[in-house]
Amino acid sequence: MQVRIIRKFAVATDICVFELVSPDGSVLPPFTAGAHIDVDLGNGMTRQYSLCNSPADRSLYRIGVLREVNSRGGSIAMHALTEGDLLEISRPKNHFPLAEAATHIVLFAGGIGVTPIMSMAEHLVRVGVSFELHYCVRDPSRAAFLSQLTEGPFADRVRLYFDNAGEQHRADFKALLRMPELGKHLYVCGPAGFIDGVSDAARSAGWDGRNVHREYFAASQPPLGTQGIFQIRLAGNGRVVDVGENETVIEALAKAGVEVLTSCEQGVCGTCLTRVLSGEPDHRDLYLTDDERSANDRFLPCCSRSKSPMLVLDL
């Protein structure tokens, strides 16, 4: 669907917010807290951005974009856009939904990972569910949405932590997560290292894995390894494709003329999810749950490889 950038403004160092509206002024398709949209940036680049406004507001979609100089170009292309520009986006999708039966929600945001957390906080305060929000950034200049967080309707639930301000200003994940409860759910979003730190603290405090929900914004390191070669068989036509040790399955398939839709290319977003009909994938993504990985019936070919000599894919 097409949207127009009605407003673009800075909310922190290197972070811009874009407000997107329907070009004809009509209401936008509904979304739930934690949802994201795919943005088509042209040149084959698609990037995913979480919606950070209240799901109750159907007049616009608000996204926050961190300009990353070392990125593959998506955030730089986004920051070059201006008010009035038209964009092609997907309808909202949600891989990070709030648990409806939760009695208390603990929200943890690291850096730009605050974007879906803002939407969640807006929703939770509106529907009256108990929650707390912990937001960790390097320093105050990098904290997005500060006035909304410190002066808005849920300011009393928010705690801010600044890594560069010394030990006493950093979040103590273990202390904050020391009391798991049946109806308590944890939502954490941010860089991989941050998510792993929060998740490890929750695990050692005894949180049930089903109550811990994570959304990665980027892998901490390139997932491509240098493991041995293997083969892919395409179930549709029986064709066999070799995957070299320094190429991804996606790249090998592309060479053979088979295109698989991708977005993050880091095993984070799930766009390239592909059914595996036989063989054992070597999962290297951050998207599938442990149970989904064990099933071995789907994998993310942008980053994952194969433990068996051949994988048969539903392509």
Q: Which residues bind ligand FES (CB under 6 A)?
A: 262-265, 267-272, 285, 287, 300, 302
Q: Look at the block and give the residue holding tokens 């801010």.
A: 160
Tell me whether residue 175 or residue 261 sits nearer to ligand FES (CB atom). Answer: 261
- 246 with 267: CB under 8 angstroms? no
Tell me whether residue 211 or residue 263 sits nearer to ligand FES (CB atom). Answer: 263
CA gap 284, 224 in Å, rounded: 8
Q: CB of residue 272 vs ligand FES: minimum separation in angstroms? A: 3
Tell me whether residue 91 or residue 174 sits nearer to ligand FES (CB atom). Answer: 91
Q: CB of residue 270 vs ligand FES: minimum separation in angstroms? A: 5
Q: CB of residue 33 vs ligand FES: minimum separation in angstroms? A: 22
- 260 with 298: CB under 8 angstroms? no
Q: Classify burial at 81, counting beta carbons within 10 Å of its beta carbon; exposed 0-12, middle 13-18, buried 19 or more.
A: middle
3-state secondary structure of 247: coil
What DSSP state is assigned to residue 72? S
Tell me whether residue 119 or residue 262 sits nearer to ligand FES (CB atom). Answer: 262
Q: CB of residue 261 vs ligand FES: minimum separation in angstroms? A: 8
Cα torsion 261, 273, 218, 216 to 10°: value is 140
Q: Which residues contact 133 (CB under 8 A, 6 or more apart)?
A: 107, 109, 117, 121, 149, 154, 157, 158, 159
Tell me whether residue 42 or residue 238 sits nearer to ligand FES (CB atom). Answer: 42
Q: CB of residue 262 vs ligand FES: minimum separation in angstroms? A: 4
